[in-house]
Amino acid sequence: MAQLLHLLLNVSEKAANVARVCRQEAPLFELLVQEKTGVDKNKKFVQDFKTLADVVIQEMIRHDVCAQFPELSGFIHGEESNKFENGLGESVTVTVCNKEEDTAALLAKVLDGDQTAASLLTRAIHQDLQLKDEAAESLQVPISPADVGIWIDPIDATSQYIEGKEEEVSEDGFCPSGLPCALVLIGVYMRATGQPVMGVINQPFSQKDLTGKGWKGKHFWGVSYGTVNACSFTHPMRSLGKKNKYLAVVLSSSERQEVKDALAPLCNGRLMYASGAGYKILCVIQGLMDVYVLSEGSTFKWDSCAPHALLRSLGGGVSDLAQCLSAISDGKKGHTAELTYHNPHAGCLGVERWANQGGLVAYIDSTVIDRVVGALVGKI
């Protein structure tokens, strides 16, 4: 599995580079935006977007992983449909071809014959990028690729990526909105149990480069399987000190008022808000926040699988909020209701088959989830 982790780190960096290329070339970016409709539309947003960058990143990851691990074919799932409609109304199935010229020809068809844009994107897709991470390369985990599946969120916080506000991360590391919230998420789960066992997060827009014109990225990974718990981020800041009387709680700005009111006393009235489900969980991973709470079913398996694996490697997890509330009401511990990633919801269509329908609570310290769920029980 060290080989798979190393590969996922490399493809995450390729994905981050594609995302940066698409943002840096404004004429290209204007061609890429397409509105999601029908069963693919996320109900949380008034206007939710699909970008060609999303689709290309997803299919590039699928192509590169299956080339090295053919046993994963059919078990790599993504947020995006790879059907894309060009300006002529033609539906094109976007795939990454073995030959660069074939990929360029396909993308040119999507881009209404714009050879320059297609060539620019193709070079980024076929570029051989390597991330050096000795800890990841030396890790020994006894899992067969034939026993796992993969969830991809090619660009989490798509709205922040499209809007493109160049907010930089503050000194304490927290960024409530803007490009740093846009993440590439690749999560690995066990096919038999749905348990998340490996996650890679790439933050393409972590900080401005020395020229001030481009961006540098950052990557994180975690593995949790059996007795193996390893993470590239080993010392969350808040976990190093003594137990805090007040919690750092991060929410979506659209969270229900009842939830805000119930949680405010736990954080001395200072609730924090940020964009992107993946980014909010990353804040918990980094120790910037103690807990991320979401009361609605507006996130999906591709949002949570990768960061969930990192949290598990640090002793935390991501639980179903509705099940936690039910368990507390029955006198049980709430943090046993961990999300799983292998079974769709019966009777649902489109993306709703893979929604985290009961909401979620992301945490590192299990005593935190007990306090949060205790505050919410009977309130929502």
Catalytic-role residue among 13, 51, 54, 61: 54
CA distances from 295 to 17, 73, 134, 171, 258 (A): 34, 34, 39, 30, 10
Catalytic-role residue among 59, 80, 114, 303: 303
Catalytic-role residue among 114, 156, 255, 320: 156
| CA 187 – CA 202 distance, rounded (Å) | 12
| CA 319 – CA 324 distance, rounded (Å) | 7
Active site residue 64: no
Angle at 11 between CA 3 and CA 176, to 5 degrees: 120
Active site residue 114: no
156 labelled binding-site residue: yes
List beta partners, residue 91: 85
Active site residue 133: no
List beta partners, residue 228: 225
CA distances from 281 to 51, 64, 80, 84, 185 (A): 23, 27, 21, 30, 11
What is the phi-psi region of residue 283: left when phi exceeds 0, alpha when psi lies from -120 to 50, beta otherwise? alpha
Catalytic-role residue among 155, 162, 364, 369: 155
What is the phi-psi region of residue 256: left when phi exceeds 0, alpha when psi lies from -120 to 50, beta otherwise? beta
Active site residue 156: yes
162 labelled binding-site residue: no
Active site residue 153: yes
370 labelled binding-site residue: no
Catalytic-role residue among 59, 79, 114, 290: 79
Catalytic-role residue among 114, 158, 290, 369: 158
Catalytic-role residue among 64, 153, 255, 296: 153
Binding site members: 79, 153, 155-156, 303
User: Could you tell me which residues are annotated as the binding site for Mg(2+)?
Assistant: 79, 153, 155-156, 303
Catalytically active residues are 54, 79, 153, 155-156, 158, 303
